[in-house]
Structures are given as C-alpha cells and as structure tokens.
Structure 1
Amino acid sequence: MTTIPGERAPDWSDERWQMRARSWVDAQLSRAGRRVTGLVEPRERPWSLVWRVPTDDGPVWFKANNPGTVHEAVLITALAELTPDRVLTPIAVDPEQGWSLLPDGGESLRDVLARDSDLAHWERALPGYAALQLASAPHADELVARGVPDQRPEVLADLFVELLDDREALLIGAEGGLSPETHERLRAEVPSYAQRCRRLADIGIPATVQHDDLHDGNVFAGRDGYRYFDWGDASVAHPFGTLLVTLRAVADARKLATDDAQLVRLRDAYLEAWTDRYDRRTLVEAADLAIALGPVSRSLSWRRALDTAAESRAEYAAAVPGWLEELFAASPLQPTV
C-alpha cells in the first residue's frame, strides 16, 4: 500500500495489517540471517507504531509511521549513507509504506545521565550531531525532493501564515486551543517574524537536516559513540533550530534559567563545528534567531505528527497551538562572545 499525502494512517490494530507487517519483518530478518524468537512488544502513538521484536541475535525495532511522518523512513536511509557512524544502519526500509526495521541501539543518553548527570556527556554528544548536519547540508535539496519537509528560513514565514489559517489545527476558541485574541496577536507578529527569517537566511549558514526533537531520550550512547534516532519530527531547516528543544530539555530537567551559564556552554559546544566558517558573534546571532523562530517549526512538526483520526490525536492536539504561543516566550541565551 503506497502512502498518499493527506491519507489517514492505517488501522494498526487491524489483524490483516498486522499480519502483513509481521510477514515483512520476518522476511527482512530472514534475509539478514535472523529469526523471531518471541512475541512482539507494541507501543502505539498517533504518529507511529513501534514493535520491539525479539530475535535469536538480540532485539530489533520495527516502526510504522503515519502519513505525516512517513518521511522518516527515507531520511534514516539517507543519513545511514551520508553519516553511517552517527545513526543506526537500518536492517530494512520500505519508504512507500513508512516502515523501518532497525537494530537495537543500546542504552540512551538519558540512561547514562540517570547514573551520571555531568553535562560533559551532552558536550560530547552535540559535536557529533553537528557533524551529521554539516555532512548532510550539501544534500538538502535532494532530501526535500525525497519528501523531507522543507522548513528553511526562506519558506518558514509563509508556512507560519498557512498555519495561522488552519483553524482546525489551532483549535481557535476551543479548550486547549488559541484564543481569538492570541490568534490575532500572532497574525500581527507575521511581518516581524518574516523579517527575522530573512535575516537568518541572509547570514548564510546552509540549511540541513534538523532533528527538531533532540533530547536525551533520542540519543544512543554506546561504545561506538553517540548515535541520533527518532527522526519523525525532522525537516530540512536552519541547523541551529535544534537548540530550542535540546537546551529547553536540559533546562527543564535541571531547573535552569534560560540564560544559565551551563546552557551557554552547551550551545557553544554545538556551535564550535561552524567556527572555521563564521565568527562567534555571527554564530550566536544565528542561534538566537533560530531559537526564537523555532516554535513555528515545532508546531508544524506536531501538526504532521497528528495527521491521523481525530479520536487518536485528541490527547496531543493542544501541542500545535501550544507551540505557537511559545513565540512570545522563546528566549535566546545571553550571548558570550
């Protein structure tokens, strides 16, 4: 079954769908010289279904994406070719159906931090992610052509306007949604937002793959180094947009102020990869802009993730308007030049 843009996700609980997916998993594992040894352990969200599949050579992970995040299968294949030391190499991928089968990645950065909360772990993980972005930048147009969402600064303001017109997604006037007053306030923000997008584009840092949900639960921390996974929210965008979620997740976990020196240190560890091309003042300006503009990207990511039946997305629907409201709260770090 080919996934069609705008098509609703299949019923993952349907027995016929499960039999077809299980048959695909079995066939791909057989080609890899492995076999299933027990029952799968499912985890379902509106945006994806994940199975932990036990095999005779350790667990593997099957993932089925909904139509809004179906590009993940294409993206992880591309990243495995471009930066094989930074991501897991898929056992198999069906890009049309949005299916992927991945080896087990071991413990996460979150597991490591639970034992040892030293932020040096993040300081080591962020440069590897930056290296992935730099390696992917020359292929940005190709990734967009293959279906990865385009959220580069040059188009982000138009996407913001389009999002503001989506009254259903923004739940205007409904519980958990935007109030009419906030909606009008956001419309009034469009010219300023567009101006800042133009400035970010003019700085000239190339767009690349941007994870958009890079927290400690989406980083493996194994013997072979850090590997980055769960790319369903990703887009082709300004690389520094990553900092919005990453730094906020660290700040929330440690109850830090947004201008805390520890967060500035992490930001600078990430930006170091670009210091051979741009001076630090320019990089800090770009980072501040990308963080401030980022809530629109997050709102768009959530809207794609909830491209499913209304009853399935109800629990998370407030995330789309909620991230737009963050435009009035997203604060850049205090620059240290």
Structure 2
Amino acid sequence: MSLSPATPSYSQLVASDEWRQEATEWIEDTVDRLGYRVRGPVTQPRIRPWSTQLVVPTDHGTLWFKAPCAPMRFEPALQQLLARLLPGLVAAPVAVDVVRGWMLTADHGRLLADDDAAAGDDLRDLIGVAARAQRELVAHREELLATGLPDCSPSTIPERFDQLLDALASLPPQLPSHLEAAEADRFRSRRSELVDACAAMEESQFPVTFQHGDLHLKNAYRSSETIRLFDFGDAQWAAAVEVLAVPHAIASQGQDGPSWSELVAEYLGAWDLDHTAFGIAWNASHFTHSVNRAFTWWRSLQSATEEEWQQWGDAPLAHLREMMRP
C-alpha cells in the first residue's frame, strides 16, 4: 500500500478535452442505442479526486454519467449486481462500462436530504432499509467481491492497519495525514486491542455483510414511496454494524432529529437481535471501522494532486485516530 501519484492526476485526466470527448462519445453512442436523443450540452458540474459526474439532458429526462477513480472503479458493476439482488432498494443503471468503470443512471429527483420536515423519520427509515439490505446480502459474498468490492472483513483488518501505518508514515511531511514516528508508536501500542476487537466482531451475532460506507440522507431517495440507496463508491464487505458510523455522527450533532437510541432500536428491529449483542459489536467497531474508513479515504486519494491532498488529505489519519479515543 503505497502512494504513487498518477501523471496526470485523476482530476486533471477527467478535465482534459481528450477524456471529455471519449466520455461524451460513449454517452452519445449509449443513448442512441437506447433510442434516446441528447437534448442540449453535456455538462460537468463536479470533479473530485475520486469521481466526476456529467449531466446528460435527453428526450427521456436527465441522465447522470459517473466515472470513479481507479480504486473505486468497481461501483458500476456493484450497482448493477445490487439492483438484481435488491430490486426494490437499488435502481439498475441505465448502462455501464465495467472495464472503464463508467455508468449512466436516471435522475433520482429529490433526495431524502431535500425534505427538512421529514428528515428525522427519513433517517430512521433509512436505517431500517440499510439493515434489510444487509440481511439479504449476507449470502452473496462471492458475487459482491467479484465486482471488486473491497473485502474489509474483521480478519483482514490487522494487516491493513499495519499497511496504513507504513503508508501514512511514507507520505511527504508537508502533506496532511503524514504520520510522525511518535504517533505511529502510539498506534502500534493499541494493536493488540484492535486484534481483540476483530476477534470479538468475528464472534458477534451480527454478520459480516455489505456495508454502504456513507449512509446518510444525501445518498438515498424515494421512488414510489420506497427508499432507494445509491452512491456505492465507499462500500465494503465488512462488519454489519459499521454501517451505523455515519448515522451515529449525525445523531451526535445534537440537532433536531432521532436520538441515537431510536436509530439503534430501528436497526435492531430489522435484525431481531438484542442490545447486548449490539453493544459488543458496536464497541468492537470503534476499532474496526476506524481502520476501514481510513482505508477508503486512502484509496480515494491515490491519484490526487498535492492541492487536493491539502484539501481532503487529513481524512485518512483523522479516521484512524478514532480508534485512539478513550
């Protein structure tokens, strides 16, 4: 696990005229095969170190083109599989190119985050939907991993932890997330606790399954009154309860909305497990999710520019430091 900056960087690549022409040609050919017609200019509203989107106006409504960076190129194939396994919870892409990691999807309309009045109820409902999806996907490990979904199950974490420490220590000192030797030693002093947490997670009544990775109201919408999930670039095969890390952060902000205990009750209701089992797994996730989330951020920045590292590069170490909390 090492940082080998790409030349050009991902964001420079997807901002180039050559790449835009190639992507636009694929979009136009694909839309034509579907019997649609492009009705207006294809625009590029956002470029990030990990993905870019193009907006495609057509005579059948707006389509969205997404191209993830290389480490997250599994997303189109993953969404295609999830739509087959969870047809009520994930919409099938309009078209995919699994080799290049390109995907066209229909416009979702309003997101759950767009409805302030229903935000509390929507977050509870979203927790229940995510839990039901996880239960359905427990038996589909091999299919999911075959898409390129990262295997971040508890047994893989100690080695990944060691690799992350080495990788962050190798960053140039001027970059965020550079790990100083003294802090690296403090991390290593907690390694045995991490190993114990991984063992506890493996013995937990909660299984290892699909983990969305970034579960919040901007990554879900309603279709025919059913909540559907999207944006799977941060997804992993991991301990089930790690999906609650982002909702926990939201509930901890103290704003109007459901309490953490209400979200946990919703999650446990979908699993039919008790608070004791949850407590064991949740305490273990304090260690496991810290490593897995740091790993996601590390992957997302592999072809970032130095300026992008300055903007987003504190995330890998910041998430890893979560395991150091008392």
Output the TM-score relative to the length of structure 2.
0.89
Equivalent position amino acid for 2:218 in 1 = G
Residues 61-76 of structure 1: pairs in structure 2 closer than 5 A: 61-76=64-79
- Partner Cα separation in structure 1 for residue 104 and residue 296 of structure 2: 23
Distance apart, 1:180 and its partner CA: 3.0
Residue equivalent to 2:302 = 307
Distance apart, 1:326 and its partner CA: 1.6
**Residue range with higher mean Cα deviation, 102-111 or 306-315:** 306-315
Q: 2:109 aligns with which of 106, 111, 121?
A: 106
- Partner Cα separation in structure 2 for residue 255 and residue 165 of structure 1: 41
Distance apart, 1:141 and its partner CA: 2.4
Q: 1:269 aligns with which of 266, 269, 276?
A: 266
Residue equivalent to 1:211 = 212
Aligned CA distance change for structure 1 residues 194 and 173 (closer, same or farther; 3 Å) = farther
Aligned CA distance change for structure 1 residues 49 and 175 (closer, same or farther; 3 Å) = closer
- Partner Cα separation in structure 1 for residue 114 and residue 171 of structure 2: 35
- Partner Cα separation in structure 1 for residue 15 and residue 175 of structure 2: 30
- 1:240-264 CA-to-partner distances (Å, cap 9, x unmatched) read 10111122023337289xxxx8111
**Residue range with higher mean Cα deviation, 196-205 or 100-109:** 196-205
Equivalent position amino acid for 2:284 in 1 = L
- Partner Cα separation in structure 1 for residue 171 and residue 270 of structure 2: 37
Aligned CA distance change for structure 1 residues 180 and 238 (closer, same or farther; 3 Å) = same
Aligned CA distance change for structure 1 residues 68 and 284 (closer, same or farther; 3 Å) = same
Residue equivalent to 1:190 = 191
* Contact 2:122 2:217 (8 Å CA) reproduced: no
Residue equivalent to 2:54 = 51
Aligned CA distance change for structure 1 residues 232 and 221 (closer, same or farther; 3 Å) = same
SS at match of 1:37: coil
SS at match of 1:139: helix
- 1:51-108 CA-to-partner distances (Å, cap 9, x unmatched) read 1211112111100010111111121111011001111210011111111111111111
Aligned CA distance change for structure 1 residues 161 and 13 (closer, same or farther; 3 Å) = same
Count of residues paired in the alignment = 317
SS at match of 1:198: helix
- Partner Cα separation in structure 2 for residue 250 and residue 109 of structure 1: 16
Residue equivalent to 1:120 = 121
* Contact 2:24 2:42 (8 Å CA) reproduced: no
Q: 1:79 aligns with which of 79, 82, 92?
A: 82
Unaligned runs of 5+ in 2: none
Aligned CA distance change for structure 1 residues 172 and 325 (closer, same or farther; 3 Å) = farther
Residue equivalent to 2:37 = 35
**Residue range with higher mean Cα deviation, 30-39 or 155-164:** 30-39
Residue equivalent to 1:335 = none
- Partner Cα separation in structure 1 for residue 169 and residue 40 of structure 2: 43
Residue equivalent to 1:322 = 318
Equivalent position amino acid for 1:250 in 2 = A
- Partner Cα separation in structure 2 for residue 7 and residue 97 of structure 1: 19
Equivalent position amino acid for 2:260 in 1 = L
Residue equivalent to 2:27 = 25
Residue equivalent to 1:235 = 236
**Residue range with higher mean Cα deviation, 151-160 or 136-145:** 136-145
- Partner Cα separation in structure 2 for residue 327 and residue 171 of structure 1: 23
Residue equivalent to 2:282 = 287
Distance apart, 1:292 and its partner CA: 4.2
- Partner Cα separation in structure 1 for residue 147 and residue 299 of structure 2: 16
- 1:188-215 CA-to-partner distances (Å, cap 9, x unmatched) read 1111101110111012533211111111
Identity in percent: 30
* Contact 1:7 1:67 (8 Å CA) reproduced: no
- Partner Cα separation in structure 2 for residue 98 and residue 190 of structure 1: 36
Residue equivalent to 1:149 = 150
Q: Higher relative CO (CA 8 A, sep ≥ 6), structure 1 or 2?
A: 2
Unaligned runs of 5+ in 1: 1-5, 332-337
* Contact 1:68 1:306 (8 Å CA) reproduced: no
- Partner Cα separation in structure 1 for residue 175 and residue 248 of structure 2: 31
Distance apart, 1:290 and its partner CA: 2.1
- Partner Cα separation in structure 2 for residue 48 and residue 32 of structure 1: 25
- Partner Cα separation in structure 1 for residue 221 and residue 252 of structure 2: 20
- Partner Cα separation in structure 1 for residue 256 and residue 193 of structure 2: 31
* Contact 2:200 2:280 (8 Å CA) reproduced: no
- 1:247-299 CA-to-partner distances (Å, cap 9, x unmatched) read 2023337289xxxx811111220122211xx4442133213322442111110
